Amino acid sequence: MHKLSLDFLKVTEAAAVASLPWVGTGEKNSADDAATTAMREMLNQVNMNGTVVIGEGELDEAPMLYIGEKLGNGSEPKIDIAVDPIEGTTPTVNGQGNANAVIAAAPKGTLLHAPDMYMEKIAVGPKAIGKIDIDAPLIDNIKAVASANGKSLSELNVYVQDRDRHKGYIDTIREAGGKVHLFSEGDVTYSIATCLEIGNVDMVIGIGGAPEGVVSAVGIKCLGGEMQARLLPRNEEEADRCRKMGLANPETALRHNDLVSSDDCIFAATGITENILLNGIKVSPEGNYLVNSVLLNGEDKQLRFIESLYLKNRIA
Ligand code: VTB
Ligand code: MG
Ligand code: MG
């Protein structure tokens, strides 16, 4: 499986390069279409029997990279794929930072199949594995992570997406003396950062997209951190969609292994616009693109930052 790493790198690079013309245009649909088309084209060239398990939507609502779509040339291995061609469409089309093209893959049957809905998530780095419990009160988790990371509560840096729905979390963290860092978009990047020595991210907590949750869980698995989650169906219809995907109790706690159960997994991300993990694509005066990516796999657990130069006359 890890032998396909470079193929997945090309997939996220293609999606990011295809997004670039849409940076700052305000055209969300066009940006997503361009990235999705490019990602799908590349995925179909990979030697694999792939199935989208986390995609751009369900069969009836997404024309490409929908859940259940078969990808690749059909040869072994059989792979589950989670995609987000643009993780951060809003910042992309608003010309702001925090957008990446991301993908995660793992052997068939080892990734959570989840609809596109909200999910509560906790992500921590390697020092805090075994210390979090999504069923426990947030205050207990904060204290456990501070202690595992060798910090006092006042030294703890918790990253939370800037949304009204997170007021309760923010108040609890601050009342406990912890530092809250609000970010506007892109919880995958911050979740991965919990495992790296950048930004001093001790913990990410909050409610975001379930697709982004599964993609993050793979990246964190590759880096030896931990993630736990809980799907949050907002009505019976959403709960039904979960059940149809095999989740008998949609609101049950999802431990890291429920999100991704194999170590033989791959995570790739390419920067579209600047973020704490990656530089955005830079265009040289000659029109060449400098493209930055991160490539992780759960087998050798190495972290690879890869810089590619897309020459002007080779850019589609
Ligand atoms: C979340 C988060 C993503 O969009 O899905 C968010 O996980 C959507 O939240 O990283 P809102 O509905 O509150 O806007 C991202 O930030 C970007 O896709
Ligand atoms: Mg997206
Ligand atoms: Mg997204």
Percent share of the chain, pLDDT over 90? 92
**What is the per-residue pLDDT across 99-134, written as a single tens digit (0 to 9) for each?**
999 999 999 999 999 899 999 999 999 999 999 999
* Residue 62 pLDDT: 85
Q: Can the peptide bond before residue 77 be classed as cis, meaning omega within 30 degrees of 0?
A: yes
* Residue 170 pLDDT: 98
> Dihedral of CA 210/243/218/167: which sign?
positive
**ipTM rounded to 2 decimals:** 0.98
Within-domain flag for 315:
no
Atom index in ligand 1 nearest the CA of residue 161 equals: 16
Task: List the alpha helices (DSSP H) in 149-286.
Answer: 167-175, 187-193, 210-223, 236-244, 256-259
* Residue 2 pLDDT: 86
Distances in whole angstroms, Cα of residue 179 to Cα of each of 13, 128, 151, 189, 302: 34, 17, 12, 19, 30
64 and 144 together in one domain: no
**What is the per-residue pLDDT across 74-107, written as a single tens digit (0 to 9) for each?**
999 999 999 999 999 999 999 999 999 999 999 9
Contact predicate 310/17, CB 8 Å: yes
Residues, beta carbon < 5 Å, ion ligand 2: 84, 86
Bridge-partner residues for 267, per DSSP? 104, 296
**What is the per-residue pLDDT across 277-293, written as a single tens digit (0 to 9) for each?**
999 999 999 999 999 99
Give the number of domains in the chain.
2
Q: Which residue has the CA at smallest separation from atom 10 of ligand 1?
A: 186
Place of tokens 């779509």: 69
Lowest mean pLDDT, pick from 8-12, 99-103, 243-247, 307-311: 243-247
123 and 254 together in one domain: yes
Q: Annotated binding site: which residue ranges?
A: 32, 56, 84, 87, 212
Instruction: Give the closest residue to 107 by CA, choosing from 84, 83, 81, 72.
Output: 81
Instruction: Give the closest residue to 77 by CA, choosing from 105, 47, 122.
Output: 47
**What is the per-residue pLDDT across 212-256, written as a single tens digit (0 to 9) for each?**
999 999 999 999 999 999 999 999 999 999 999 899 999 999 999
* Residue 187 pLDDT: 97
Q: What is the mean pLDDT of residues 36-65?
A: 93
- The C-alpha R_g of the chain, in whole angstroms, comes to 19
From the CA of 85, how far away is ligand 3's center (Å)? 8
Instruction: Give the closest residue to 8 by CA, choosing from 222, 198, 287.
Output: 222
Token pair in block for residue 62: 């997404």
Catalogue the E-assigned strands of the chain: 49-54, 70-71, 78-87, 99-107, 118-124, 157-161, 179-183, 203-209, 226-231, 266-273, 282-283, 289-297, 303-310
Q: What is the mean pLDDT of residues 185-204?
A: 96
246 and 123 together in one domain: yes
225 and 130 together in one domain: yes
146 and 212 together in one domain: yes
From the CA of 90, how far away is ligand 2's center (Å)? 9
Atom index in ligand 1 nearest the CA of residue 163 equals: 13
From the CA of 226, how far away is ligand 2's center (Å)? 23
Distances in whole angstroms, Cα of residue 287 to Cα of each of 187, 265, 290, 315: 31, 35, 10, 10
* Residue 100 pLDDT: 98
223 and 132 together in one domain: yes
From the CA of 215, how far away is ligand 3's center (Å)? 10
**CB neighbour list of residue 147: distance below 8 Å, 6 or more residues apart:** 131
* Residue 57 pLDDT: 84
Distance of alpha carbon 174 from alpha carbon 186, whole angstroms: 22
* Residue 130 pLDDT: 98
The pTM is what?
0.97
284 and 206 together in one domain: no
165 and 39 together in one domain: no
Residue ranges around ligand 1 (CB below 6 Å):
87-88, 163, 185-188, 208-209, 212
126 and 177 together in one domain: yes
pLDDT band at 166 (very low <50, low <70, confident <90, very high): very high
Distance of alpha carbon 316 from alpha carbon 311, whole angstroms: 10
* CATH assignment at residue 36: 3.30.540.10
243 and 269 together in one domain: no
Atom index in ligand 1 nearest the CA of residue 86 equals: 18
Question: Domain range holding 54?
Answer: 2-108+265-310
186 and 235 together in one domain: yes
CB-CB neighbours of 315 under 10 Å: 13
pLDDT at 315 over 80: no
